[in-house]
Amino acid sequence: MNEQLHRSDHSIGLPPYELIATNEPPCPAVAQPTRDWAYLAATHLIGSPANAAIAAILEETGKLAGADRAWMFEYTDDLLRFRNTDEWVRGEVSSHVGDLQQTPVTMIGWLHQWLVAGKAVMINDVARLPRPARALQAEMLRQNDKSVLCVPVFHKGTLRGCIGFDATRAVRRWPVEEIHQLVRCAKLIGIARYGRTRTYGDRDDAGATTSAEIGALVHLHMPGRTRGVPLSAIVGLRSAKDYTQVWLKDEAAVLDLRPLSFWIGLLPKANFLRIHRTAVVNLSHVTELDRHSGPTKQAWVVRLRRTDESWTVSRPYRQELRSRLGI
């Protein structure tokens, strides 16, 4: 998507959302350190415990950016649930920091797929988000959000959380320079919150729980109903155009009303591996790898527990499959 963002108070002519790379944000051209958000963030993180510093950073950057809310949420270690941890609000704007606690990531799956890919997401107009973002859109509209900026927080290459701004009074497009400034703050927050040695009671461990500890389920959206299943019960997934067939270990495949790309962004890579453009398998359910299949004896297929079908492994994914299976 186009990174050339310009300040605007209207969504006319703007796409509903835009993606911004976060790998190497340029240093801001600021006249004085007090306008450099990363400098301000560093002063808080050096002088205060991470929790207190993050609260101060959100307030300061939120005010500088003209936001109505500034917030942070964190993931569990397995990226299956998230919870709001910090929030600053302007004046009489409503607070929602306590609303989403240990919430399944499937609710924000559309956003999550971009965050885990290292993209900041500038939602110019919440009302015009695409259909796959419907659950997220409903929550944003409930909070009276018109526009939302979301920036991922990483530590050692792992997505740990997200910080961002809400605009509730009117649609708003934050300029790319301010987005890059917030990206730099997110990098500092990631180091301080997840890389700092915990001493003197400074327990920055809000993201240290796992979904297993809180009985997490992943939720399948099937025609007419939603059903929670343990992650370990998923044997494999295959694309069915705009939907996904999900094989479960104790029953036949069920149809989930979301595309495979949604699931690829959600499933933990420690357990699941893509073996084809249209297929993902749970490695713990692989019972056999046949590297001499088909008429030419050159095709690769895997067989999975509880399924009678063979799953084709395409060439781009073979080396990683061998490595993950210890072959």
Is residue 82 within 8 Å of residue 76, measured between CB atoms?
yes
Give the residue ranges of DSSP H helices in the chain.
37-47, 50-65, 109-115, 134-142, 176-195, 260-266, 318-325
Q: What does the pLDDT read at residue 25?
A: 60
DSSP SS3 for 80: coil
In degrees, rounded to 5, the angle at the alpha carbon of residue 198 between the alpha carbons of residues 206 and 100 is 10
Angle of the 50-65 helix axis to the 37-47 helix axis, nearest 10: 160
Which residues of the chain are modeled with pLDDT < 70? 1-12, 24-34, 196-217
Closest by CA to 72, choosing from 64, 59, 178, is 59
321's CB contacts (< 8 A; 6+ apart) are 273, 275, 289, 300, 302, 313
Tell me, what's the pLDDT at 213?
Answer: 41
The CB density around residue 49, as the number of other CB atoms within 10 Å, is: 18
To the question of pTM greater than 0.85 for the whole model, the response is no
- Residues 6 or more apart whose Cβ sits within 8 Å of residue 194: 155, 156, 160, 204, 207
Helix 50-65, helix 176-195: angle, nearest 10: 170
pLDDT, position 1 = 40
Q: Which listed CATH number (2.40.50, 2.60.40, 1.10.287, 1.20.120) goes with 235-325?
A: 2.40.50
CA distances 173 to 166, 167, 255, Å, are 10, 9, 37
Taking the C-alpha atoms of residue 24 and residue 47, their distance in angstroms, rounded to an integer, is 26
Q: Is 21 exposed, middle or buried (0-12, 13-18, 19+ CB in 10 A)?
A: middle
For residue 260, give both structure tokens.
Answer: 């495979």
Q: Are 56 and 47 within 8 A, CB to CB?
A: no
- In CATH, what number does 17-195 get? 3.30.450.40
**For the chain, which residues make up each domain, given as ranges?**
17-195, 235-325
- Cα(221)–Cα(291) distance, rounded to whole angstroms? 35
Report pLDDT for 78: 84
Whole-Å CA distances, 151 to 72, 93, 123, 180, 237: 9, 21, 11, 9, 29
Integer Cα distance of 280 and 260 in angstroms = 9
> What is the chain's length?
327
Would you state the pLDDT for residue 312? 95
